[in-house]
Amino acid sequence: MSQSSEYHPIPLSAAPAYTGPERRSQGVLHQLARQFDAACTGAVDSLQVAAALESGGITDRIARDEYGFPDVFSLAEELYRIVPRRLKIGEARCGPGDRWRTLRELVHGPLFVLPALTYPAISLTLGDQGLRMGLVLSTAVGWAWGLAVSWLAYRLIGRGLREEAARLLSRLSLLGVLAVALLALPLTHLLGVGTQTVLLATGQMAYQMAASVLLIYGLEAWLLAGLLPGMLVNGWYLLAGLPAGGRDLALGATLGTLGLVLVVAAYALAKTPRSSTYQPTFGLRDFRAALPFLLYGSLSAALVLSGTTRFMFSGLDRSLSLLPLVLCMGVLEWQARRFRERSVEVLRRTRRMAEFVLGERRVLLGTMGASFLAMALVSGGMAWGLERMGQLTPEGLTLLAAHLNLSGAFFINFLLLARGRTAWVLLSVGSALLLYGSLVWFFPPALGYLLSTTLLLGAVVWGLFASLGEVAQYR
């Protein structure tokens, strides 16, 4: 780009405030261009615009029904054509925003783990069975419900409907918390645990939905700040030897943490700009589109919980076997995004299909290898530490291997879902769940879990390799 054609914004102090009527075009295409201004003005080509539209929730159906284009890529090409560029090519790549996005993705795993540091006092209050029931119920419902609600919210935000997204998050989050409370009440009577378990399950579900809101809004730092009081006080309580006089203080700190996170999430939703002419746009068709994600979350939670719940309090190595997978979830998110970006680069610099297929497979091996390496390092480090403590058993080692399989399966599922291979993902996870239910009758549970996750990994790898080389994914 020549020096004379570079974009030089007028300093804010020198720009007089305009108070007249709106002069910008109100056409739906120009409004969309303003919503994705950073992507459109900084893109090297239309493929980058398409990637931004897809990550923002714009699908082929939305492109067709709301903007009159046959697919997202045609819509991206038109946006790239009509929006002037403002950045040099070198500036459009890997800037501070990309590094910040990577950091945010990487901390998601630790943020999923940190709430466990607020449980010591709760565990002593409820006992093993009450704690197990409360955590399993809230995790199962929260996993499935949170995934579907997040997908719907991102879809609305991608359309520029932030107010509707905030309203939807508020209502569906409350509905999810109410559902857990209603499910927990009869379960406490059936299992003979105290009614305090209802409070645990409900509070845990409320925390999960509030945390989802903060992650959607990119407020990971706020979530960490809200967790700190409960983590610090319960950490002291644990290191001090669980003194009887400190239990009430630790419980109070945990409740305070829940309150802080809920207040911050409510504030984030309340600060969303409101319009006096608000009109909801979501219909039954949009909610039906979220059902596959609800089902995927349900099946994934059922597989993981059925394989690990029985070991929750059976030994240190078995109780912690899921920890490496949770810690590395942010790495999986990051590598899934890198796969998409690098595949686009491969397509841009190749001219023959064979070269593209080979390049895309190399990208897959690199990103999947990085995911496996991170998971293997965390699992290996934990296994080494447990071995030094004399706490590592063959059963615990088997569970660690099963969760290494799951890390690969979840990484590939990210890619398959983005490619629209939802049916294959659901079939694979459902089959693994059914296989595990059958194998536990003939094999030790840990071995059956390992065999089931091995099948799942093989199935999704096959499904992904079958879709590699489809240029339409990156047009």
Q: How far apart are CA 82 and CA 248, in angstroms?
A: 62
Q: How far apart are CA 300 and CA 426, in angstroms?
A: 9
DSSP 123: H
Strand runs (DSSP E) across 62-220, as ranges?
none
Which amino acid is it at 238? Answer: L
Q: How far apart are CA 32 and CA 24, in angstroms?
A: 12
pLDDT along the chain (475 residues), means of 10: 37 43 60 80 69 75 79 79 59 59 85 83 78 87 92 82 88 94 86 81 92 90 89 85 82 89 92 78 80 93 91 84 90 88 76 76 89 92 90 91 93 86 92 93 92 94 76 49
Provide the sign of the torsion angle of the four alpha carbons 87, 88, 89, 94, taken in this order: negative
Q: Are 432 and 456 in contact (CB under 8 A)?
A: yes
Q: How far apart are CA 99 and CA 87, in angstroms?
A: 18
Which amino acid is it at 198? Answer: V
Q: Is the pTM higher than 0.85?
A: no
- If DSSP codes are grouped into helix, strand and coil, which group holds residue 82? helix
pLDDT of amino acid 83:
79
CA distances to 137, 371, 445 from 298, in Å:
12, 24, 21
Kindly give, in sequence order, each residue whose CB lies less than 8 Å from that of residue 282, ignoring residues fewer than 6 positions away: 152, 156, 164, 168
Q: Which two tokens stand for residue 49?
A: 């615009």
From the number of C-beta atoms within 10 Å of its C-beta (0-12, 13-18, 19+), residue 232 rates as middle
pLDDT of amino acid 47:
66
